[in-house]
Amino acid sequence: MELTKWPRLLVRGTPVTERQAAEIIIRTDMIWNFISTNHHYWERVIRAEQARLGYPGEFKMARKPGGGTPDGYWEKFQEHEQRKRQWHLNHGILDLQYLSNERICSCWVGGPHGWVSWNGFIGCSTYNVGKWPEVNEVTEEWTDIATAFPFLDLRAQLVPDEGEAEQAAVTWSVKDGRVTCSEEPSRPLTTPLDVDPMPVIFDRQMEIGCTRRQLHDALEIIR
């Protein structure tokens, strides 16, 4: 059964503590790859909090007079990216393409979202993961997550056709730091909007997923 371009991610699991949730979020959130918000003040807050921990942040280099790429741009860019990767390794940030959370900020129509919430709830049903995922790629990511957070106990599925298919194409079980995967088509764990209903009204303020104190305290966990 093919996963198709934008399969829906369904997750149900045993709740974790708020501190465990904060650790998961800060180590798996999208902010380490891309800050997704139109709320410019909140973006500045996030970047300031990252800088407080010595995070390399965005790469910037002055252009040549009159425009054009400055000499040595790509070499310096690669050096910067290597520093970021090393910072991620030193602070336990997981390299996730499909299973990252967006609980700190998101300009997605449903606002901040993910498979873990700040209050410790484990579950999601409203959003689709990236384009054309391969089962082995997602399995590797769940394995990284299970290894990093052995206290997790959850089941996850991908449902083809943006969640419109009648059956899930693949199911993962995560428990005690281990992952099992079944590609046998099965009944979805939940229906869309059952686990985490989307807001009825959307505005820029809803792109903020936590308080500055929550962000600060979560970052202290990985200091």
Average pLDDT estimate for 164-174: 96
Residue 1 lies in a domain: no
**pLDDT tens for each residue of 104-147:** 999 998 899 999 999 999 999 999 999 999 999 999 999 999 99
133-136: long-range pairs with CB below 8 Å, 24+: 133/3, 133/7, 133/97, 133/98, 133/158, 134/3, 135/3, 135/170, 135/181, 135/183
Average pLDDT estimate for 73-93: 94
Does pLDDT of 63 surpass 90?
no
b/e code 20-33 from CB counts within 10 Å (16+ = b): bbbbbbbbbbbbbe
- Quickly state the pLDDT bin for 69 (edges 50, 70, 90): confident
Pull the structure tokens for residue 145: 């997550």
Using alpha carbons only, what angle is made at residue 152 by residues 159 and 175, rounded to the nearest 5 degrees?
Answer: 80
Average pLDDT estimate for 167-190: 96
Q: Which segment of 54-63, 83-92, 201-210 scores lowest on mean pLDDT?
A: 201-210
What angle, 0 to 180 degrees and rounded to 10, lies between the N-to-C axes of helices 212-222 and 40-52? 30
What angle, 0 to 180 degrees and rounded to 10, lies between the N-to-C axes of helices 18-28 and 212-222? 80
Residue 3 lies in a domain: no
Q: Give the per-residue pLDDT at 65.
A: 72
Average pLDDT estimate for 40-60: 93
Report the C-alpha gap between 117 and 163 in whole angstroms.
21
Q: What is the mean pLDDT of the chain?
A: 91
Q: Give the per-residue pLDDT at 127.
A: 93
In this structure, the number of other CB atoms found within 10 A of the CB of residue 218 comes to: 23
The domain tally of the chain equals 1
Average pLDDT estimate for 64-90: 86
Q: Phi first, then psi: what are they for 131, rounded to 5°?
A: -70, 135
Does pLDDT of 199 surpass 80?
no
Residue 136 lies in a domain: yes
Residue 131 lies in a domain: yes
Does pLDDT of 192 surpass 70?
no
Pull the structure tokens for residue 83: 């520093």
Report the C-alpha gap between 195 and 40 in whole angstroms.
30
Rounded to two decimals, the pTM is 0.91
Residue 2 lies in a domain: no
Q: Give the per-residue pLDDT at 196.
A: 64
Does pLDDT of 208 surpass 60?
yes
Residue 23 lies in a domain: yes
Residue 45 lies in a domain: yes
Q: How many CA atoms lie within 13 A of 108 on its CB side?
A: 20
Give the residue with greater pLDDT, 74 vs 53: 53
Domain that holds residue 105: 8-64+71-222
Residue 32 lies in a domain: yes
Nearest CA among 222, 211, 202 for reference residue 46: 211
